[in-house]
Every structure is written in C-alpha cells, then in structure tokens.
Structure 1
Amino acid sequence: MPDGRTQMTYQGPAGVETPRTIKVHESDNVAIVVNSFGLKPGTDLPDGTRLVEFVPQGHKVALTDIADGAPILRYGEVIGRAIGDIPRGAWVEESRVAMPVPPDLSALEKATRVPAPLPPLEGYTFEGYRNPDGSVGTKNILAISTSVQCVAGTLDFAIRRIREDLLPRYPNVDDVVAVTHAYGCGVAIGAPQSVVPIRTLQSLATHPNFGGEVMIVSLGCEKLQPERLLPEGKQGIVRLQDEAFHGFDAMIGAILEMAEARLEVLNRRKRETVPASELVVGLQCGGSDAFSGVTANPALGYAADLLVRAGATVMFSEVTEVRDAIHLLTPRAATPEVADALIREMAWYDDYLEQGGADRSANPSPGNKKGGLANVVEKALGSVAKSGSSTIAGVLAPGEKAKQKGLIFAATPASDFVCGTLQLASGMTLQVFSTGRGTPYGLSAAPVIKVATRTDLARRWHDLIDLDAGRIATGEATIEDVGWDLFRLMLDVASGKVKPWSDKWGLFNALTLFNPAPIT
C-alpha cells in the first residue's frame, strides 16, 4: 500500500522456472507466490525458506513458524490469526486463518496524518463535452430514464426503434440508452432509506454524459411520480396511461418524437479541449485476487494521485472493502469532520448488515479466495491501495453527487454493478476497474478501463483487458510506470481517441439500484 510505510520487495530473479514471491512490508511473515503454476514442495526460496507443501499462485507461504493464535501479517497489518501451528514453508490457506475483529470505530485517529499537498500537475488536457451547467462529459448519449419498472419493456422496444430509425441521422450522438431499474412501485416510498434509490435516479438523470437533455418514460400510477426525477424547470415526461394515447403505436410514437427533439440538441455538442481537472473518475475492483493489492490497485492509486495533482475528482468506494482498513484512512482525512463522515458510512453499513443477518465475512467471494484472498481483511487492505496517498477531501452518501475536487470516498456496496451505478449517480464520467480473476463488466453510460492484476490474465483476455499491471509482479515495470500509463490512457479514453474493450464489444451491465428501504 503506497502509504509511506510499505516497501514491496521481490524475491527471486525474473523467469518462469525460478521461484518468485512478493513480500509487501518488511514486517510481513507471509509472501505470495508469483509463479503461474504455483510452487511445489521442496522448493527453496531465496530467503532460505523451503516449501513443505504445494502453494498455488497468489497464495501465501509462511516465511517463519507461526504459532497457534499468533498474528499473520501482510501489508504490515494483521490479516488474521493462525488456527493451529503453521510451520515455515507451509501454505497459509484460508482455513488456517481466523479473522480478527474489525477496527473500533470509536477509537480511530481523525485527520492526524493529513498528507502534504503534492506538486500541481499542469498542462494535461482531454477532449470533452462541455455542458450548460459547467460539467464535462466523456460521451454524448441520449439517456431515457424510467420512473417504474412497468414501462421497461416498452422503453426497450422504443430504444430499438430509435437506434434503427433516428440515430443514423444524428452522427454526433454516440448512443441512446435506457436508465431502467426495479424501483418505483410496490415500495415504501416514504421510508427513510428510500432517499437512496430516489436520489440515485435523480442524479443519474442529469449525468454529464447525457448533455442535460433529460427524458422520463412513466406509467402514470406509480408511487415514484416522474416529476421527482426532473430537475427544476425541465420538461420531458411521456406517461403511457395518458388518455390521449390510443394503442401501443401511439405511445412509441410519442417517445420517438420527444427523443428526436433531444437528439437534435445533442447532435450539436462538440468535443473541446478542457483541462484534466474536469475529469470525474471512479475507481473500482472486481474479481479481485492476492495480486490486486500489489500490482493493479497501487497503480490505480498512483494514477489517482496524478489526477488529484491535476485538479480532477477521483472516487473510491465499496464500504465492505474499506471497513477493515478504515484505521488507515481516517488519519488521512482533510478534517475531523471528513473523518467523522467516513466513520458514519462505516457504521451505517455495519447496522445494515446486522439487520440483514449478515456480517463482513460474507465478503470475499469463492473466486477471491481461489485467487489467494483469505478473508475480507486481506481484501480490504489491498482494495484501499486504489486511494493512493492524497488527502481524503470529502465523503459522499450513496447516490449523492460529487461537488468538490480531489480524492472522495463515495459510499457504495461492494457489488460491481451496484457500485458502478452509484458512482455514475455521483457524476463519474470514466471508470477504472481492476480485476485479477477477470470480468467482462462494462457500463454504457461511461467508458470503463479494465486493468489486469496478472499478466496471465492480460494475455488470456487480450481482447477484454485494456492495461496489464501484472508487469509489476514480474519486475518488468514499476508501480509508477503503470500509473503513468494508466493516467495517459484515461486522457485518451476520455477524449474518445481510444475505446476500451467493453465499448468496442458493447458489453454493458444493467444499472442496479441500491435500495435498503422496505418493499411493500
């Protein structure tokens, strides 16, 4: 983790056959295996450790004898305690690791180690779409929102017609997308937590990539009335229950007529040169593995620092993958109030999980564990590496729009699709997504750059992965090298000069609202 206390060390020269491990912090008593096919019993590591059993790639090997109940250290932090004695050279497999208690939210340092500002990074620009409200988009999209799931099928039909009959006449518009969801009716619309899905939909409707041309398709009788999704002074609602409509064809005609008026406006949008400070970048990880915290995520963190230096807005998220590393973040908060906001979001989610009869042990996934992550503590310590080393300037509640520059924590669940939806609602115009196990995830509303934690994955998924951070594990590149590569790639993608693979293939996940409120 690039927090000033950690120094990654590589054991063994590069080479497929040579035993190779990574120890992240000098105090660690485990290292992860780099070799693609793992290491067999009897293998000697450069530090003198001899493996007593097979250790798969990405999994941990004990570098010392670890007694029953003793701490297991990775990233210089306790990721668990030994279940039984673990001899030196043994595989520190998930079943041998007892999860520690989470950091006490009432005993955290607040703004005690605020990082000094990094030198400004000037002169970097991208080609974006300037909006009337001052925001800048990276795409030019007609988005049509729904106020209730009942109309989703009708809107999908209309979208097909718009793409076939209208879009070819407006070549400057990238696409037309449906902002559909499973909310709007059959829900406790007045429940306190209903603010989360409603705020999310309100924010999505005015996303910078949609050019301010808001349009809502409504049924008419739903609890979430469409006016709540329109900004003040805006028009643009088609109600399917309107008595003026005689038949389905009339409904589709009304949607197409309203869409065409907006396409005419969007078609006049042109890219212009804007400073890098206008970027709003979301950082996310999915299909994580043990390499996430030593290759891709530190590179994302380095690029995040570059963006902050350039004056941009950078969001990191995923509460459950931050909770066990929160003690490393609150000291970096700009003020005690920002630290309190971080703690507020952690506490809210603790309560949310408890009410659902779950706890943080439900994360990680089976794939994460297969990739070498023993528990959510180890996963969180690797996840927060995405935040780099800058001051945490602010905190957003789920679905809340970003209104300031710098490094922001945007509270979301860890689910890829829910996190992506909420980051979009917060105004994210470009996302960087790190993955170790691999995922074809993508978003239609904003470009997604996929970064592999392992070169094996980047080679195998050569037409899905945009950047290989696995070169850090093999010593072919540094975190700084990959961070700069990513920074430059972000500017090219934001400018429309480079299309990420998810855009080339049209691989787009459906938007997924976070709805903690009751369903009636």
Structure 2
Amino acid sequence: MMTIPVKPPAETPRYIKLNDADNVAIVANAFGMPAGSVFPDGLTLRDYVPQGHKVALADIARDQPIIRYGEVIGYAVDDIAAGSWVEESRVRMPAPPSLDGLALATRTPPKLPPLEGFTFEGYRNADGSVGTKNILAISTSVQCVAGTLEIALKRIKDELLPKYPNVDNVVAVTHVYGCGVAINAPKSEIPIRTLQNLARHPNYGGEVMVVGLGCEKLAPERLLPDGKAADHDIMRLQDESLTSFGAMVALIMRMADERLKTLNARQRETCPASELVVGMQCGGSDAFSGVTANPALGFAADLLVRAGATVMFSEVTEVRDAIHLLTPRAVNEQVARDLIREMRWYDDYLDNGGVDRSANTTPGNKKGGLANIVEKALGSSAKSGSSAISGVLAPGERVRDKGLIFAATPASDFVCGTLQLASGMNVHIFTTGRGTPYGLSSVPVIKVATRNELAQRWSDLIDLNAGTIATGETSIEDVGWELFRLILDVASGRKKTCTDKWGLYNSLALFNPAPIT
C-alpha cells in the first residue's frame, strides 16, 4: 500500500507545463502533492500525484489525445477529470510515426555563429584523433582468455603501472564473442567492427595489443589496425612456446611493459575544442529528464557543434517516436534517409524478436513518471539540441564527420556506451533521473542529475545538477554553459569525474544480433 507523505502546508504546489498545447503537466514538488492541493492557477488535485507524474490540466474524454511536449503521447483509456493523476494505466500508447512520407531535410537549421577560442589539453595521436586519457588497452579475440588476462591485469597494475606515472590505467577489452558464433552471418559485422574500432580508440594512444587463444573463429589478426604486425601485437595462449600458465602471464606482462614505456612518453598539449568527440546518453530516466538535464545537454551540444566538435546522440528506441521531428533537421536528404534506414532496421530487429518498442520502458522509468516509450523518446531526443543532423552511423562504425551525429545503438546503457566508444567518443555525458552508478574506464563519464533530490542524495556520484532548472534557480542556458565548461575541464584532466574518483566502471557489452551456433 502506498504511503502518501504529508506535505508542509507552506509549500506551494507546483507543476511544469512544457507547451501551450499540453493538456497534462508534471508535479514538480518533491514527494508529490496530496489530493486537495490547489495550484496557483486554481487547479485542484483530485488524487495524490507523485513527483514527476502527470496531472490533467483539463477534462480529457475517453479516446482523446493526451498531449505533452506539444505531441500526442497516448490516448485516454477512460474519462479523465481535470486535477486527476494521469498514471500509466490510463494512457493507451499510440502507433509509432510511419517511416513512409516523412519530411526529409525540409527544416534544416541554419548554422549558428562559430564559437571560437575554446581549447582543452589532450593527447594527440598519429592518426589525427585526440585522447582525453592515456590508457593501455589489451584487446581480446575470445572470451576464453578473459580469466587469464584478469590475473595478468592485476599483476600489471600492481607491479608495472606504478613505474609509469603518465599512464592513467590499464584496461582489458573483454567480451563474450569470438567462438561459438556464426562468424560470417548477416550482421556479424556489427560486433566485429565494434572490436576493431575499440582497438583504435583515441585514449589508447595507438598501442594495440591483442590476447587470443589460437582456435577461435574471430582471428586476432582481424582486430589489428592497419600498420600493426601480428607477430608483434598478438599473443596466443595456445602458442607451443608457452609451456605453462606462468609463461602465458609473463608474456602478457612483457608485451604490456613495452607499450607502457611508449605511452608514458605521451604529454597533454593544447587542442581546439573541435577535437572533442562527445557521446550523449541517458539512463534511469524520469519525467524530469526531458525538462532539465536533457535540454541542458542539448544546449551544450549546440555549443560544442558551434565550436566545431563532434557530438553523438543514440538509442534508437528512445528517438523512434520522435523521428518525425528529426528527419526535417537533417543537413540533406541522404542523412534523413540514413536516419530512416536505422529506424527501419531496428523495427525489423525487434519484430523478429517478437517484441516492440514498448519493451524499452523500465519499471524505474514508470515510477519516475514516464507513461510509455513515446513520452520517454520525446524527452530523450532533447539531448540533440537544435543543430542540423550532419551524419548517421550504423552500430559500431567509427565517426567520420563533425557536427551532430546520430549513432544508431540499442538503448541499453552498457551496449550504447560500448558502441559510442567504438565510434570514437573521448568524453561521455550521462543524464539520469532515477540514478545509476554507470561508468566506463576508457573515457571520463560526466553524470548529470535531473532532480535536486537525486543530486543531494547521490552527491558523491553526480557531477552536475540540472534539477535547479525545475525549481527556477537556473535556466537551461545556465546549466548548458556550465556543462560545456565542465566538459573542457574534464577532457583536460583538470577535473575528475565521480566515477573516476571511485574507479567505478562497468564491463563493455557488445551488440551481437547475429546467431550463436
């Protein structure tokens, strides 16, 4: 049974309405408001409404649209009186926008004035990319070697890393791919190119090292970038010259030591902000995500684009219901068609699995006030800001263009983060309303809270609080500029994110839609 907290009588009931056309708003007060609460405009609550959940601003008849963000997020299952809690069971989800007949590059935003003079301190690489960390990454070609590498990694960190103070970390790129898979099946290129591009990540400094077994289907040579030599950059545990487990670990350590010496010579240098590749993601989303953190991130994304940087937004199912708002923003018709291509591919992928986009919304999302994936997608797409969409990446592809890029990924936090890493991001921004300890070892992850309550409760896990937008203490522009400057500081190593302070990192997770044999 739900316990309804008693609100202090002095606290004024507040709601947030986003668009003049909206017939619902979200309750802004912490812990929600009880029945009988009267808003300043005279609206009286008929029910207790939790924080972030929707209240009807007017009577909504059965089968009539429920509108938030100026868009239809569903239809009323029954008559809903003004002042009532519009909870999930009262909202019937609409069909997704058709992918046929969408407007293609019809409202391409004009270029905003360039933003010049902003720099960060990064590590330049021979291939032209710039790193924000200095890391030795040890790739693997098959899961079988992960346990051995884990033991070697502990010894490397304990015995070798202290000798190289300019190296931030040593990480293992482990996964469950490589054997027992249909290596040439349709879509097997997704996990393979992901691993290939991870090995080229700018924070790894070009020092590639691959540990394989020797009998796997994914030949370790396939993970080597051009110019790397198999006899120098690959070791196989089944090599007949390795006569013991100890010899295997010793060889991994010798190879690591050689690369650590090279990485230790890297130095940060001043680089223009245009060398940033920023990945944007949200997880543990709530109804405030599209009000505070995501719009602020969208404003920061526009600043980054103006500075010449690359900014990626992702999560197909979390933009699918906003696709009609995105294709008109494409820089040209081909980019718009590429967006549709990725939406259609994912529709088919879900259909083949016997599910649809509604499977995305989590219990936590719903507890945070999101009725369905339509409402979630409209809030999620706010991260894209207002710039023209200049390119589209299939899952695991390396980024080629500057500007705002849609990198197609699943919405899973860990799969999305892994694919954005493969695409080359060197800073990650992660917005959250419910809270998550998500982190990546290979790039700094800046965590942005949507609500004051979360930022206060998780003060040592949240890097920036956007909840002050909801209370009127700051504006979207204020927080957007604060985030932009924080990105430059974090990319430069001047500030550490909370996840880096704690060493709080999740494992990578490949996206493999191909069969396993």
TM-score, normalised on structure 1? Answer: 0.97
- Identity, % of aligned pairs? 74
CA offset at residue 233 of structure 1?
A: 2.1
Structure-2 residue corresponding to 1:7: none
How does 1:427-466 map onto structure 2 within 5 Å? 427-466=424-463
Residue 122, structure 1, aligned to residue 116, structure 2: yes
Q: In the alignment, is the contact (CA less than 8 A) between 2:49 and 2:55 conserved in 1?
A: yes
Q: Over residues 136-157 of structure 1, what are the superposed CA-to-partner deviations in whole Å (9 max), with x where a residue is unaligned? A: 0000000000000000000011
CA offset at residue 43 of structure 1?
A: 1.1
Q: In the alignment, is the contact (CA less than 8 A) between 1:84 and 1:96 conserved in 2?
A: yes
Aligned pair in 2 of structure 1 residues 460, 16: CA closer, same or farther (>3 Å)?
farther
Q: Over residues 75-109 of structure 1, what are the superposed CA-to-partner deviations in whole Å (9 max), with x where a residue is unaligned? A: 00000000000000000000000000100001210
Secondary structure of residue in 2 paired with 1:394? strand
Structure-1 residue corresponding to 2:417: 420
Structure-2 residue corresponding to 1:467: 464
Structure-2 residue corresponding to 1:400: 397
Structure-1 residue corresponding to 2:260: 263
Selected match of 1:52 from 46, 49, 57: 46
Structure 1 stretch displaced more, 169-178 or 37-46 = 37-46
Extract structure 1 runs of 4+ deviating beyond 2 A.
Answer: none
Residue 107, structure 1, aligned to residue 107, structure 2: no
Secondary structure of residue in 1 paired with 2:190? helix
TM-score, normalised on structure 2? Answer: 0.97
Q: In the alignment, is the contact (CA less than 8 A) between 1:142 and 1:176 conserved in 2?
A: yes
Q: Following the alignment from structure 1 to structure 2, what is the Cα–Cα distance between the partners of residues 206 and 135?
A: 10
Selected match of 2:501 from 485, 501, 504: 504
Letter in 2 for 1:116: P
Q: Over residues 242-284 of structure 1, what are the superposed CA-to-partner deviations in whole Å (9 max), with x where a residue is unaligned? A: 0000101111111111111111110000000000000000000
Structure-2 residue corresponding to 1:383: 380
Structure-2 residue corresponding to 1:165: 159
How does 1:133-212 map onto structure 2 within 5 Å? 133-212=127-206
Letter in 2 for 1:159: L
Residue 254, structure 1, aligned to residue 248, structure 2: no
How does 1:9-408 map onto structure 2 within 5 Å? 17-235=11-229, 236-408=233-405
Secondary structure of residue in 2 paired with 1:224? coil
Q: Following the alignment from structure 1 to structure 2, what is the Cα–Cα distance between the partners of residues 363 and 162?
A: 40
Letter in 1 for 2:372: N
Q: Following the alignment from structure 1 to structure 2, what is the Cα–Cα distance between the partners of residues 151 and 51?
A: 60
Letter in 2 for 1:85: D
Q: In the alignment, is the contact (CA less than 8 A) between 1:16 and 1:35 conserved in 2?
A: no
Selected match of 1:479 from 476, 484, 488: 476
The number of aligned residues is 506
Secondary structure of residue in 2 paired with 1:490? helix
Q: Following the alignment from structure 1 to structure 2, what is the Cα–Cα distance between the partners of residues 48 and 270?
A: 62
Q: Following the alignment from structure 2 to structure 1, what is the Cα–Cα distance between the partners of residues 36 and 186?
A: 60
Q: Following the alignment from structure 1 to structure 2, what is the Cα–Cα distance between the partners of residues 53 and 418?
A: 39
Q: In the alignment, is the contact (CA less than 8 A) between 2:12 and 2:39 conserved in 1?
A: no
Q: Following the alignment from structure 2 to structure 1, what is the Cα–Cα distance between the partners of residues 451 and 348?
A: 36
Q: In the alignment, is the contact (CA less than 8 A) between 1:472 and 1:478 conserved in 2?
A: yes
CA offset at residue 232 of structure 1?
A: 2.0
Q: In the alignment, is the contact (CA less than 8 A) between 2:309 and 2:403 conserved in 1?
A: yes
Letter in 2 for 1:302: F
Secondary structure of residue in 2 paired with 1:368? helix
Structure 1 gaps of 5+ residues are 1-14
Letter in 1 for 2:184: G
CA offset at residue 47 of structure 1?
A: 2.2
Q: Following the alignment from structure 2 to structure 1, what is the Cα–Cα distance between the partners of residues 419 and 266?
A: 26
